[in-house]
Structure 1
Amino acid sequence: MKRILCVDDNQNLLDIYEIILVAEGYTVMTSIFPENMFKLISEFEPHLIILDINMNEINGLDVCKEVKSYINNKNTPVIIISSDESIHTAICDFNATAIILKPFEINDLTSAVKLHLSQTSTFSR
């Protein structure tokens, strides 16, 4: 079963992501504390990460770049969630795999997750 880590400083959104993704058959871990993200990545070994960029104390784009800089995470897709329409440069500048703009439909999230997990299925763990 594919593992997905969701990091956001909004617990309500994390609950929604978890409900949606568990219903799709994924194992989901959520964290409201982005500073614990690297410990969670090490322990949970997610196949995909969903990351909000506008968190209170940490810039999600910098976290994305840092996640992708670690050798074990280079092929781990990171989907950025943002309400900022000008964020599309993040894919190149911060090594994000995809961006989903808020507000979004459930299908936007599930389609992006399925697409990027299928593209990285050769890097199974």
Structure 2
Amino acid sequence: MQKTVLIVEDEDILREIVKDYLLNEGYEILEAVNGNEALDIFEEYEVHLIILDIMLPELDGWSVCRRIRKSSDVPIIMLTARADEDDTLLGFELGADDYVTKPYSPPILLARVKRLIDSRYSSTGNLSSLDTLVISGIHVHFPSRTVTVDGESISLTHTEFEILTYMMRNSGIIITREQLIIKIWGYEFAGDDRTVNSHIRNLRHKLGDKADSIVTVIRVGYKFEDKA
């Protein structure tokens, strides 16, 4: 099935460059030049990934991301013209899965798109050998990518789901921040430890009473522990 990417970028030249690269890779492309148009398109069409600029007319990328996350876990890559780490962390807190700082290399952006789409929608992808995984009252159903905690459904972003399931599959094993970055974002990722910390903080918040299943190992990383 052909995957659809929504490009939300008000700079025509940049949008066309990204569009051409993605079209050459076989993706179907939808385009928006402002935040309100992006939301309208997202409501009308099936979108598999969004490339979302932060600085947009009418409605900025932060607001678009926040609204989409109320109803969808579609992968979102944020584009920012600023190398401000606080901007990046805010994007992750709002539910973005990845970010790219302008000026960027289109092939690098394409690699990020392919990684997210492959891991999110591939039938082989990152699926467990079993359809389900249950530890400490946290129940993961891989075919539907749903997570419940003590029977209550929780909403995770694509990246939060990948982090949680990676840690649960390696329950009891210390995982360094570097290992998480390589596994979840890839070798080309330009972020740092604060990126990982931000996602872990969000994940713990959503896990509620099960947050203590993710244990911090000082100066090393994290470990998932069965608290049952």
- The TM-score range, normalised by the shorter chain, is 0.7 to 0.9
Q: Which runs of 5+ in 2 are unaligned?
A: 123-142, 145-228
User: Which ranges in structure 1 are unaligned for 5 or more consecutive residues?
Assistant: none
SS at match of 1:79: strand
> Partner of 1:16 in structure 2?
17
1:84-104 Cα deviation digits (max 9, x unpaired): 112220343210010001111
User: Rg larger in 1 or in 2?
Assistant: 2
Aligned ranges for residues 77-92 of structure 1 at < 5 Å? 77-86=75-84, 87-92=87-92
Q: Relative contact order: is structure 1 or structure 2 higher (C-alpha 8 Å, sep ≥ 6)?
A: 1
Query: What displacement does 1:3 show?
Result: 0.4
Task: Give the equivalent residue in structure 2 for 1:114.
Answer: 114
> Displacement, 1:56?
2.8
Structure 1 stretches of 4+ moved >3 Å: none
CA distance in 2, matches of 1:48, 1:58: 19
Q: TM-score, length-normalised on structure 2?
A: 0.50
| Distance in structure 1 (CA, Å) of the matches to 2:59 and 2:48 | 22
RMSD: 1.7
Deviation digits for residues 9-54 of structure 1, max 9, x if unmatched?
1122211111111011100011113212222112221100001001
TM-score, structure 1 normalization:
0.88
Shift of 1:57: 2.8
2:44 paired with 1:46: no
Distance 2:3 2:104 in 1: 23
Helix, strand or coil at the partner of 1:99: strand
SS in 1 for 2:10: coil
2:47 and 2:18 map into 1 onto residues whose CA distance is 15
Deviations 1:48-97 (A, max 9, x none): 00010011332211211111111xx22x0010011111222034321001
- Would you tell me which structure has more helix in proportion to its own residues? 1
Cα–Cα, structure 1 residues 33 and 55, in superposed 2: closer, same or farther, change >3 Å?
closer
User: How many pairs were matched up?
Assistant: 121
For residues 90 and 98 of structure 1, what CA distance do their matches in structure 2 show? 12
Q: Calculate percent identity across the aligned residue pairs.
A: 26
Q: Secondary structure at 1:85's aligned position in 2?
A: coil
